[in-house]
Chain A
């Protein structure tokens, strides 16, 4: 097995590969009553990602392993999972950044219904996203039928929250969301923030009204798990507290 793969093109120094143990939380709804842990040994380079390890397992060891991934480059937001107890994108987590002297634990994100292996039902997550009207609502027509113009400062105001890829790493890292599925969750609030503070948008009051609820922004307990989990580096908790402040003090 190793002889077949260990023939890289002539590189100055051969890069060393390691045997990494992955312990994956498996669940097959047709067979299992409960999820269980299964381990796999994979030969990997330090520059490989956790997603590469999952591919190797699926392609070479166990084709029944199920997970989502689309672009594999940190943009589509399909492969958020819990890696060593923290929500990460499998395609953005390098093996060299993990402690490979110990097994790497991989499991599905928490708080959403588990469907199979690393796949969860994302529908409740998208429902909250839809509920905050994540689109531009403008009452007046653009000037001269052209684009709606913004100053650099006006664009800067919501720049951070435009980066969201809807991977659910933040929402499924939130202890409040785990126990209270009714909570909108950080991702929905981030996407509301993106339009609330957009100078071209006219529906901020409606969105603030939707989120000014027991299950809205006031459910946030500032654990900062979302900020720490976000693969795009969005300051999620900061965005949530800005929405809270807008409710108390009004929009500036």
Chain B
């Protein structure tokens, strides 16, 4: 028994001395676009959940609703909105890319990924300065 535990201890020490869980799979554009799509998707889901809850509050008590909404008018929430729009814009464009892969042609997936990134940058360039001016002006 003590011998066995010493052995497992030794193997655990060996394991922790290097990256224990195996290397991260080095996928390319396709895999990272999927990872981003999943992260933004889950984030948007939780936003919608909270959004539906705070909107539903108006039926419970309009005063409470007004209180909650006014608590959103802070610079931190303004930056949060920027992140939200960034996530939605990526998710939307990449969703179109996935539809095209499935029902048009998978050959151009890499090009389409960079098109998605390009469209995302253009959209964000148009949105972010105006939004931040609104957030920080008053």
A residues adjacent to B (C-beta < 8 A): 23, 25, 31-38, 82, 84-86, 105, 107, 110, 173, 175, 221-225, 227-228, 235, 237-238, 241, 244-245, 248
Contact = CB atoms under 8 A, between A and B. Distances in A.
A33 to B, nearest CB: 5
Please report whether the interface of chain A is mostly helix, strand, loop or mixed according to DSSP.
mixed
A182 to B, nearest CB: 19
Interface stretch (B23-31, B60-68, B78-86): B23-31
B106 interface: yes
A86 B27 CA distance: 7
A224 B109 contact: yes
A88 to B, nearest CB: 11
A242 B11 CA distance: 47
Contact of B103 (A82, A223, A245): A245
A84 B25 CA distance: 8
Given A33-B8, A241-B101, A222 B27 contact: no
Interface stretch (B14-22, B45-53, B116-124): B14-22
Contact of B25 (A33, A38, A110): A110
Given A82-B22, A86-B26, 20 more contacts: A35-B22, A36-B11, A37-B14, A37-B15, A37-B17, A37-B19, A107-B23, A110-B22, A173-B25, A173-B27, A175-B25, A175-B27, A222-B30, A222-B102, A224-B28, A237-B30, A237-B109, A241-B103, A241-B106, A245-B102
